[in-house]
């Protein structure tokens, strides 16, 4: 079963549409965050990269150039998040857009998953997003404008074997963002939830393409995020072709949806990755001190 879905870039050129906008991104030293920082800087934004690995963040900021700055950030610490935002605003100006991108994806059969790893997944993927969304909103509301972008995953719409906890953490991101939109959009705040498929970053080391979806690039996700900031919209799937498949699957009887999932490899693609040696380095980092 190959539906021919693959990544396509949402942007083909830059327009300077975000000139002077101050945008802060968490977990942006590498992967989707770094690609997004690059794309936003190309559009004229003044970007702050926050990452627990400051050396990586500094190297990324130097490569991007422009007004990009790199700052230390531990998203699991409320104090660190506040300090990060304070420094961004004192250095670049009031935050116009805040992107909650930091995340981890340790894989495991659910019966073997360590309690500490479960706590860590929710601390980084979910609780950090909640604290950061609240803090950013508090700063934006007095100005009557602002945009918060939360990076979730298609796994938050359809659970995949081997990533039950990760899928749950990203489902929470989707639902929280919907609730935030319902509560604060009329006060002037924009919200976007981004749902990438399998993306070629270290999070998916050892993960093979699913039959219906080729893996996408961090740049394609960055382009989609940038487009959604330039012209705000709530829900962003990457690739866009994932939207109809996800929506149709949810309308079908559960057993039919599960059959489709198995045909796509959802019952084994992540479990298989755990057997591959190239997965081991990321698993160690994801379960340890690095975001």
Look at residue 196 and give its three-state secondary structure: strand
- Give the model's pLDDT for residue 142: 98
For residue 291, name the pLDDT band (cuts at 50, 70, 90): very low
> Mean pLDDT in the chain?
88
**Using CA atoms, how far apart are residues 82 and 62, in angstroms rounded to an integer?**
24
53 is written with which tokens? Answer: 């690995």
What does each C-alpha distance from 216 to 104, 134, 143 come to in angstroms?
Answer: 18, 30, 36
Window from 64-73, 98-107, 196-205 with minimum mean pLDDT? 196-205
pLDDT at residue 7, as a whole number? 36
What is the torsional sign of CA 19, 22, 23, 28? positive
Whether the per-residue pLDDT at 117 is higher than 80: the answer is yes
The answer to whether 95 and 258 are in contact (CB under 8 A) is no
For residue 9, the model assigns a pLDDT of 42
Active site residue 166: yes
Lowest mean pLDDT, pick from 27-31, 111-115, 153-157, 187-191: 153-157
Q: Is the pLDDT of residue 3 over 70?
A: no
| The pLDDT value given to residue 8 | 37
Kindly give the residue spans of alpha helices, DSSP state H, lying in the chain.
31-42, 54-64, 78-91, 115-122, 128-140, 164-184, 218-230, 242-251, 254-264, 269-273, 280-286
CATH T-level assignment (fold) for domain 22-286: Rossmann fold (3.40.50)
Contact (Cβ atoms closer than 8 angstroms) between residue 190 and residue 95: no
Res. 82: pLDDT tops 50: yes
Query: pLDDT value at position 206?
Result: 67
Q: Are 191 and 232 in contact (CB under 8 A)?
A: no
Q: Above 80 in pLDDT, residue 115?
A: yes
Catalytic-role residue among 98, 166, 237, 282: 166
Rounded mean pLDDT, 176-187: 98
Closest by CA position to 189, among listed 141, 230, 136, 138: 141
Q: Which two tokens stand for residue 285?
A: 């980092």
Q: What is the mean pLDDT of residues 25-32?
A: 96
- Name residues whose C-beta falls within 8 Å of residue 196's C-beta, 6 or more positions apart in sequence: 32, 151, 153, 154, 216, 221, 238
Contact (Cβ atoms closer than 8 angstroms) between residue 2 and residue 211: yes
The whole-number pLDDT of residue 138 equals 98
pLDDT tens profile 251-288: 778 777 777 777 776 777 777 777 888 888 888 888 88
- SS3 state of residue 27: coil
Task: Give the integer Cα–Cα distance in Å for 9 and 236.
Answer: 13
Region 231-252: what's the mean pLDDT?
A: 80
pTM of the predicted structure, to 2 decimals: 0.88
Report domain extents, the chain. Answer: 22-286
């Amino acid at each position: 079963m190959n539906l021919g879905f693959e990544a396509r870039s949402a942007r083909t050129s830059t327009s300077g549409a975000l000139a002077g906008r101050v945008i802060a991104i968490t977990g942006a030293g590498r992967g989707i965050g770094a690609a997004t920082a690059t794309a936003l800087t190309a559009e004229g934004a003044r970007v702050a990269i926050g990452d627990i690995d400051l050396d990586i963040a500094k190297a990324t900021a130097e490569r991007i150039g422009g007004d990009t700055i790199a700052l230390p950030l531990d998203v699991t610490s409320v104090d660190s998040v506040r300090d990060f935002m304070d420094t961004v605003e004192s250095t670049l100006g009031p935050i116009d857009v805040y992107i909650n991108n930091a995340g981890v994806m340790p894989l495991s059969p659910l019966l073997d998953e360590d309690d500490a790893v479960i706590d860590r997944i929710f601390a980084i993927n979910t609780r950090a997003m909640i604290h950061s969304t609240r803090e950013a909103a508090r700063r934006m509301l007095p100005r009557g404008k602002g945009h918060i972008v939360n990076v979730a995953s298609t796994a938050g719409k359809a659970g995949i074997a081997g990533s039950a906890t990760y899928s749950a953490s990203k489902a929470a991101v989707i639902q929280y963002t919907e609730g935030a939109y319902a509560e604060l959009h009329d006060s002037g705040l924009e919200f976007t939830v981004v749902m990438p498929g399998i993306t070629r970053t270290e999070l998916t080391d050892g993960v093979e393409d699913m039959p219906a979806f080729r893996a996408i690039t961090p740049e394609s996700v960055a382009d989609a995020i940038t487009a959604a900031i330039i012209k705000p919209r709530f829900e962003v799937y990457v690739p866009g072709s994932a939207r109809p498949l996800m929506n149709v699957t949810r309308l079908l009887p559960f057993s039919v949806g599960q059959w489709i999932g198995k045909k796509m490899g959802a019952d084994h693609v992540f479990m298989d990755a755990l057997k591959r040696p190239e997965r081991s380095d990321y698993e160690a980092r994801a379960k340890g001190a690095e975001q």
